[in-house]
Each structure stands twice: as structure tokens, then as C-alpha cells.
């Protein structure tokens, strides 16, 4: 990944350019999403990540509609929820997401979790939506290597993205390496561990060394690991601060130190337990 500025992108397997820094809107209520999204777009973000589960697609649609930027300049991701999985129900869920988002296409659509016995049919629906040109890229979320291998045995189209929990306490380097080998873009959710990274002494020390905040250090670490990242915030100052990560570079030695914090520690559920 070539890191340039806030509007920089990574090229997916099908040639679609995905902004490597985005705004996550998990747990962002409709009452606050417009202000947060407008701030992010004004700062320079060009990628917003939502999901059916978040119950804020309608708010996001209104936020994008009322911002001066044209729709085609904004990369929108959404995800099909577990109870909507299956071929027909996924198509229906996708149509509902489009209506709420007030758009006629998505840039990226993901399977939210690998629901056993359903994700293959769900993937077949995503392939249909992709073939019809209603979504520019398709992928998965929270898939382990064995889920990916199982899916790819029957898939006509390989997943282009795998969005997973990723932060210094949960690196999953073998999964990251597998995705790189198979040209599946790795993407981080909860890159700041819902605030838990701020209590880690090593990160405090390194942040001071680079004259950056802990959040800025970790988000830069994400990008240098080749991982797309979508920090969530509703605070305008933090949204801007999270994007101020393009004027420094973490050394190889310090990257390794951050890697050494890996403890296979999750804040969310394990994908095998869904």
C-alpha cells in the first residue's frame, strides 16, 4: 500500500480504488450521524462504513445527500446482517439498504459474519448483485482462514475485502498473510479497541516519540501494515485528528514493537462462535 494522504486509495483485486482511511459509524445514532459525516467529508475522508445492524443507513443517506460532494466521490460500504443471510433474503436486504442510503449502487457490500450453513448462499447473492453492476466490489467480514478457504471452493468470484477486528492486541498475522497472498484486502474494525489502546504504556511511549497521539500512532500502524482502517467517532475534533497521520512514518523497529503487543485478545465475539 502506497500511503500518500487522506484521499489515498488501495486498488482491489478487480481494479476498484478503495480509500484506505474511512469513517466508521457503528453505534452512531441518526441524530448525530449527519454532523459527523459532514465533518469527515469536509476534512477529506472519502469512505464511510455502515451496516444494516447499525440502524443508521437512512441517516447516512441523508447526510450524503445533503453534502456538496457528488455521490460518486464517496465510497460507501454496508453489510448484510446474519438474520438476512440466504440468497433471496440477501437480495431483499440489499435493496432495503439502497433505499435507506438513497443511492442506486454500493461501492462495497460485505457479509457481516460467517453464519454456518448460510454464507455460501449469501455469497452467491453478492455475486449476482456484482454481476448486475449494483455493487462495485464484494467481500466478507469476520471470516477466518478456514471460512475463506471453504467459501472460495465454490465461489465464482473471490472476496475482494475481509473486514475483521484488528488492533495491536489482535494482529492475526497468519490471516493477514493469507489475505495478502490471495489478493484479499484486509480491513480493520475497532482499530482503537473501543478506547482500550489508550492505557497501553508502550503506545504512550511511542506516541510521545513521534509527537503524535496514541490514536494517530495506531492508525498509522494500520496503514503501514497494509490494512484499510475505519476509526469511529462522532466528535468533530477527533474525526479531524484521526486523519492527521500523513506527516510521519513509523520505523521498522517500532512497527515490530507494536506488533509484539499481540495477545490474540478480542473485544468482539470470535467468528467461530457466531
What are the sequence ranges of the domains in the chain? 9-265
Residue 153: pLDDT over 90: yes
> Domain spanning 9-265: which superfamily?
NADP-dependent oxidoreductase domain (3.20.20.100)
Q: Mind telling me the catalytic residues?
A: 54
Over residues 4-44, the pLDDT tens digits come to 999 999 999 999 999 999 999 999 999 999 999 999 999 99
Residue 176: pLDDT over 90: yes
Residue 255: pLDDT over 90: yes
Over residues 119-134, the pLDDT tens digits come to 999 999 999 999 999 9
Over residues 187-223, the pLDDT tens digits come to 999 999 999 999 999 999 999 999 999 999 999 999 9
CA dihedral 147, 149, 150, 153 (to 10 degrees): 150
**pLDDT tier at 151, thresholds 50, 70, 90:** very high
Average pLDDT over residues 248-253: 98
- pTM for the full predicted model: 0.97
Predicted pLDDT of residue 274? 87
Residue 92: pLDDT over 90: yes
Amino acid at each position: 500500500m502506497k500511503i500518500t494522504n487522506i484521499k489515498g486509495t488501495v486498488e482491489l483485486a478487480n481494479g476498484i480504488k478503495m480509500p484506505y482511511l474511512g469513517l466508521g459509524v457503528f453505534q452512531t445514532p441518526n441524530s448525530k450521524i449527519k454532523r459527523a459525516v459532514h465533518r469527515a467529508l469536509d476534512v477529506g475522508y472519502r469512505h464511510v462504513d455502515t451496516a444494516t445492524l447499525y440502524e443508521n443507513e437512512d441517516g447516512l443517506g441523508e447526510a450524503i445527500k445533503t453534502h456538496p460532494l457528488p455521490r460518486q466521490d464517496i465510497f460507501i460500504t454496508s453489510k448484510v446482517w446474519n438474520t438476512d443471510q440466504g440468497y433471496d433474503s440477501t437480495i431483499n436486504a440489499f435493496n432495503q439498504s439502497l433505499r435507506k442510503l438513497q443511492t442506486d449502487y454500493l461501492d462495497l457490500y460485505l457479509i457481516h459474519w460467517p453464519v454456518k450453513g448460510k454464507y455460501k448462499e449469501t455469497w452467491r447473492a453478492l455475486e449476482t448483485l456484482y454481476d448486475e453492476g449494483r455493487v462495485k466490489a464484494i467481500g466478507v467480514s469476520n471470516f477466518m482462514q478456514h471460512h475463506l478457504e471453504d467459501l472460495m471452493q465454490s465461489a465464482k468470484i473471490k472476496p475482494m475485502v475481509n473486514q475483521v477486528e484488528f488492533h495491536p492486541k489482535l494482529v492475526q498475522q497468519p490471516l493477514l498473510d493469507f489475505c495478502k497472498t490471495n489478493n484479499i484486502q484486509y480491513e480493520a474494525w475497532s482499530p482503537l479497541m473501543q478506547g482500550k489502546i489508550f492505557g497501553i504504556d508502550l503506545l504512550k511511549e511511542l506516541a510521545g516519540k513521534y509527537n503524535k497521539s496514541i490514536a494517530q500512532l495506531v492508525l498509522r500502524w494500520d496503514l503501514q501494515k497494509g490494512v484499510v482502517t475505519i476509526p469511529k467517532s462522532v466528535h468533530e475534533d477527533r474525526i479531524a485528528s484521526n486523519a492527521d497521520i500523513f506527516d510521519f512514518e513509523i520505523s521498522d523497529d517500532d512497527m515490530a514493537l507494536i506488533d509484539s503487543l499481540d495477545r490474540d485478545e478480542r473485544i468482539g465475539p470470535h467468528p467461530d462462535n457466531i
